[in-house]
Structure 1
Amino acid sequence: MSDGIRPHTRVALLTLTCIGQFMVLLNNSITSAALPDMQRRLDTTLTGLQWIVNAYVLAVAMLLLAGGVFADRFGGKRVFLGGMAVFTLASLLCSLSATVGWLLAARILQGIGAAALSPASLALLASAYPVPQERIKAIGQWATFSGIGLAVGPAVGGILVEAFDWRAIFLINIPIGVLTLVVGARILPDRRNADAPPLDVPGQVLALLVVGTLTFGLTEAGDHGWTSPLILSCFGATVVLLALFLTVEARVAAPMLPLRLFKHRLFTVSNAAMTVVGFGLMGSGFFFTQFFATVQGHSVLRAAMETLPCTLAMVVSSPYAARIAARFGFRSVVTVGLVLAGTGLVTMAAVHANTPYANVWWRLAVTGVGFGLTMSPLTGAAISSVGPREGGLASGISSTTRQIGAVFGVAVLGAVVRTRQEHGASFGSGLNTAFLTAGVVTLVGGVFTALWLVRQQAPVDDAPETTRTAASQSTVSRS
């Protein structure tokens, strides 16, 4: 081959990158099964559980594009192995945490490792498979592992927690991570992109502060009150920081978020819809296991297994979404998907402690099918709205907006549950309101895409020669 990589080395490289992405997605969904056990053993509140989930997701969301830039500048091998080392060490620290505070710090570190690991794995695949058709096939396998990691997370988590406790969901990463580091150091090629753009440090810091401050306000509002000085200060600071972020991004030479991309309606609408997908999917998924374990009183393992219809339906429907969109257009498929997902979530608002599982699983399945139909077409819409040299950046931004939506979903729906409880409602009634809220937001998203999601536009090819290619197709992951 012209790139000098032997066929058996390619197979090993593909295997390692798939394992890395599998771990990233597994840790997105495996935590949900352990939340009831974490709450009991760590003696924490719903707010603490929200932060345990959001600490990881927030770190990934805010650093994903930066991870792609680092992979370009310093080489996919170094960033992949560095990310894996950080991820593995953080997993060990998570398992050793005795308090919620230490666990949150370790989860942030774990998210930093994942944010480097995910885009670097795609940078390695892109260089190892220079032939377009072979590259598409390799990325397809990589994406399949993403879906598997997402789907089996609750079941694996339930088994581990049932046999041991919540710490086991992090310990499982350690032997896999060590083996990947040893093999990866021997076989992964070390290549860099000399034309990679510099990292937009001011933009990166401001973006983190904007989302972090808003997330803090939304998450803590239930405990401190929506009109408390602390929460109002957070919301005010968010507005100021957002204005600073937009000012910086409009002036720097190589912004992490080129504002000119939002001139294209298709790009703007697809990313707004992707935020809704993250909000509804992750926000509601945060409570699925808790409903079965806390409201219906099932074991952790049984509760985790009972959430499978959603993730399995999503994994099964997702591969067909791009094909259907190619035939009927982005708008039709995304709108149908959001309406299905929203309908499933609205019907979840009617379940209660005595609802038999036979009358619950189909609601989860409808939700999963709906969300499975949205992600690939929305990513495709974002990519098709920009020039060919910025397709990687567009897909990276699409992935980031989904992660940000997930952070907000967990924060807002958690606040909804706590607010209902403060007014005398039970935890189960609070969950019903949260599911209803997620469903309504998702249905509104469906109306929004039906009205505003247009066909591919002919973008103005004003993109710079260099682009963040590695941050790129990390959106293929279904986190």
Structure 2
Amino acid sequence: MAASPAASATPVGSRPGRAVLLTVTCLGQFMVLLDNTIVGAALPDMQHRLDTQLTGLQWIVDAYVLLVAMLLLSGGVFADRFGRKRVYLTGVAVFTVASLVCSLAPSLGWLITGRVLQGIGAAALSPASLALLAAAHPVPRERVKAIGLWAGLSGIGLAAGPVAGGVLTEAFGWPAIFLVNLPIGLLLLLLGLRTLEETRNPDAPAIDVPGTVLSVLAVGVLTYGLIEGGARGWTSPLILGSFATAALLLAAFIAVEARHPAPMLPPRLFRERLFTVSNTAMVVVGFALMGSSFFFSQFFVYVQGSSILRAGLQTLPMSLAMVVASPYAGRLAARYGFRSVVTTGLALAGLGLLALGTVHADTGYGNVWWRLAVVGTGFALTMSPLTGAAIQAVSAQEGGLASGISSTTRQIGAVLGVALLGAVVRAEQSGGASFETGLDSAFLTAGAVMLATAVFTGLWLSKSKPAQASAAPRRPAAEAALTTTNEAPAKSR
């Protein structure tokens, strides 16, 4: 997704100031990343005020993540084909309006609708913001520095989310967590319209409309069956029909992708073992990361009796650990190889989740925070090296596509994690167990899956180290896909 020749020929002095451009792109990604962690802090208040059950909370999270997961690849292509400024500002506008819809939602249905719109906006905003930044820095060394600043500054939203969510929810109620996006969105629209210059790539591939539609429908129907199965019964005709329909849609998606001239998910890439193994592990990372994070605030509020504000602060060690450890993951992979770092990260996260599965109502916080920090460190050590492994498995010309697929697979895992671990909790409760017991089972399940994946990757992932060329991606898409909406910042390879 490189800039067109005309765009590259534009004198640097005529472009917007680099500081203004960095501010606009960072602030947009900050808003998206903030939304990922700020919502988790408000889930207990949403459950109370909207009078919903666990199923409703799952839809509040998954409605957003599902759209991001399935539209992320298309968002990057849209930006290159129709103009990065246009797609970025459209994404900002949609995200801002959707945030207003969420804040004014009188019912669960309206809130879920707003979350769907937020997901669409984020899927356009996130890749376009980095594509704009990359197009403005044609020199690889300058581009890498700019992307590092973009990742680090916008990633502050991850750590700020739990605290901001706790403060706003405690003081004003859950609608306030969405209202905070309005001034940011309006500022971005004003600055963007006045300062951003349009760039595009006229040689960008055509949009894979059939693949995009089928992928959204397949994963959406599967998610419906997983979330609603616990409430409606796993053997009910509606749920069994959902699983059957999802299987048919998935088969249709595979058939269409095999015949499409420019598929969003080329099947041939999965013939490479390194690519397949790294993306399989990334699905599990998304599954455990999002699935467990979904319950953190609920654990502190419902099991340990914390206030919403205090719960937001108590979940902070995981986010901070990810922010601190992420910049070192790529360097460690470059020195010791993908397999060593990824296996260590998966094992750490798995052990941390198993340790969280043994925490109870009377466990002091001094014996809880370090478990969250271990989990966050483990996840931080896996994501960047797994993306690097996926990129190394393909040709340099397909690096952007590979990194985008890696981000998409993690998001798909996130959708499934919220659905499946929620099903584990509901299954325990339907058997007469307490919510605390259900949470313990969910954390233990996530930990066991992570440890099993650590063994799998230890056996099958390549020992190879990142190629030196990977430090300077050749196309904006390669950088754009490396940092997505619920990933820790500063992914240096």
**Smaller-chain TM-score range?**
over 0.9
Counterpart contact for 2:94–2:118, Cα < 8 Å: yes
**Which sections of structure 1, spanning at least 5 residues, go unmatched?**
460-466
Give 1:471 deviation, angstroms: 7.4
Rounded Cα–Cα distance in structure 2 between residues aligned with 1:41 and 1:458? 49
User: Which amino acid in structure 2 is aligned with residue 470 of structure 1?
Assistant: A
Counterpart contact for 2:103–2:178, Cα < 8 Å: yes
2:172 corresponds in structure 1 to: 164
Residue-by-residue CA offset, 1:111-166 (whole Å, 9 max, x unaligned): 10000000001110111000101100111111113431112111110011111110
Counterpart contact for 1:161–1:300, Cα < 8 Å: yes
Matched, 1:365 2:377: no
User: Which amino acid in structure 1 is aligned with residue 404 of structure 2?
Assistant: G
Q: Percent identity?
A: 67
- Decide which of 332, 339, 356 is 2:347's aligned counterpart: 339
Spell out the pairing of 1:38-187 with structure 2 (5 A cutoff).
38-187=46-195
- Decide which of 398, 411, 422 is 1:403's aligned counterpart: 411
Give 1:68 deviation, angstroms: 0.5
User: Which amino acid in structure 2 is aligned with residue 137 of structure 1?
Assistant: K
| 1:254 partner SS | coil
2:481 corresponds in structure 1 to: 474
Matched, 1:312 2:310: no
Give 1:456 deviation, angstroms: 4.6
User: Which amino acid in structure 2 is aligned with residue 476 of structure 1?
Assistant: T
| 1:126 partner SS | helix
Residue-by-residue CA offset, 1:401-451 (whole Å, 9 max, x unaligned): 111100100000001101100000000110000000110111111111101
1:262 corresponds in structure 2 to: 270
User: Which amino acid in structure 2 is aligned with residue 53 of structure 1?
Assistant: V
User: Which amino acid in structure 2 is aligned with residue 238 of structure 1?
Assistant: A
1:5 corresponds in structure 2 to: 12
1:463 corresponds in structure 2 to: none
| 1:373 partner SS | helix
Rounded Cα–Cα distance in structure 2 between residues aligned with 1:232 and 1:94? 31
Q: 1:468 to 1:421 in 2, by over 3 A?
A: farther
Q: 1:449 to 1:10 in 2, by over 3 A?
A: same
Residue-by-residue CA offset, 1:265-290 (whole Å, 9 max, x unaligned): 11111111111110111100000010
User: Which amino acid in structure 2 is aligned with residue 14 of structure 1?
Assistant: L
- Decide which of 286, 294, 303 is 1:286's aligned counterpart: 294
Aligned residues: 472
Rounded Cα–Cα distance in structure 1 between residues aligned with 2:353 and 2:153? 26
Give 1:474 deviation, angstroms: 2.6
Counterpart contact for 2:288–2:417, Cα < 8 Å: yes
Matched, 1:389 2:397: yes
Counterpart contact for 1:196–1:468, Cα < 8 Å: no
Counterpart contact for 1:393–1:472, Cα < 8 Å: no
Counterpart contact for 2:292–2:446, Cα < 8 Å: yes
Rounded Cα–Cα distance in structure 2 between residues aligned with 1:387 and 1:412? 35
Rounded Cα–Cα distance in structure 2 between residues aligned with 1:278 and 1:146? 20
**Mean alpha-carbon deviation: is it higher for 418-427 or for 446-455?**
446-455
1:464 corresponds in structure 2 to: none
Counterpart contact for 2:16–2:197, Cα < 8 Å: no
Counterpart contact for 1:72–1:468, Cα < 8 Å: no
Q: 1:457 to 1:341 in 2, by over 3 A?
A: closer
User: Which amino acid in structure 2 is aligned with residue 197 of structure 1?
Assistant: P
**Which sections of structure 2, spanning at least 5 residues, go unmatched?**
1-7, 468-473, 488-493
1:203 corresponds in structure 2 to: 211
Q: 1:472 to 1:397 in 2, by over 3 A?
A: farther
User: Which amino acid in structure 2 is aligned with residue 156 of structure 1?
Assistant: A
Rounded Cα–Cα distance in structure 1 between residues aligned with 2:455 and 2:77? 36
User: Which amino acid in structure 1 is aligned with residue 389 of structure 2?
Assistant: A
- Decide which of 205, 230, 234 is 2:238's aligned counterpart: 230
Rounded Cα–Cα distance in structure 2 between residues aligned with 1:43 and 1:14? 42
Matched, 1:439 2:408: no
Moved over 6 A (4+): none
Counterpart contact for 2:340–2:463, Cα < 8 Å: no
